[in-house]
């Protein structure tokens, strides 16, 4: 059984997509968890500022999640275009 170059490229692109999503999801996951934890600490210290802290946390998490979305786009390109 002979393995063609096209099959090797397809296998490498699928492996690359998996690695891209795996590594691309680690940073946002850690960052968002850290931000949520600190927001909970801030709300516990000063409950009057809960609205401001929640808004600021959500904006920070949205910015952090953008890197995860970029890695998803790269993974989808590797799966369906290559």
Per-residue confidence band for 16, with pLDDT thresholds at 50, 70 and 90: very high
Please indicate whether residue 1 or residue 21 has the higher confidence score (pLDDT): 21
Q: Write the CA distances from 2 to 5, 12, 13, 65, integer angstroms.
A: 10, 17, 19, 42
- Spell out the domains of the chain, with CATH numbers in brackets: 8-80 (1.20.20.10)
Percent of the chain with pLDDT over 70: 100
Q: Write the CA distances from 82 to 5, 16, 35, 36, 73, integer angstroms.
A: 13, 11, 36, 37, 13
Residues found in the chain = 82
Torsion over CA: 61, 65, 66, 67 (sign)? positive
Q: Is the pLDDT of residue 1 over 80?
A: no
For residue 59, give the 3-state DSSP assignment: helix
């Amino acid at each position: 059984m002979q393995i063609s170059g096209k099959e090797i490229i397809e296998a490498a692109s699928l492996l690359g997509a998996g690695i891209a999503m795996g590594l691309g999801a680690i940073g946002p996951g850690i960052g968002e968890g850290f931000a949520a934890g600190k927001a909970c600490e801030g709300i516990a210290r000063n409950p009057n500022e809960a609205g401001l802290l929640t808004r600021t946390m959500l904006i920070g998490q949205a910015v952090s999640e953008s890197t995860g979305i970029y890695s998803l786009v790269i993974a989808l390109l590797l799966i369906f275009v290559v």
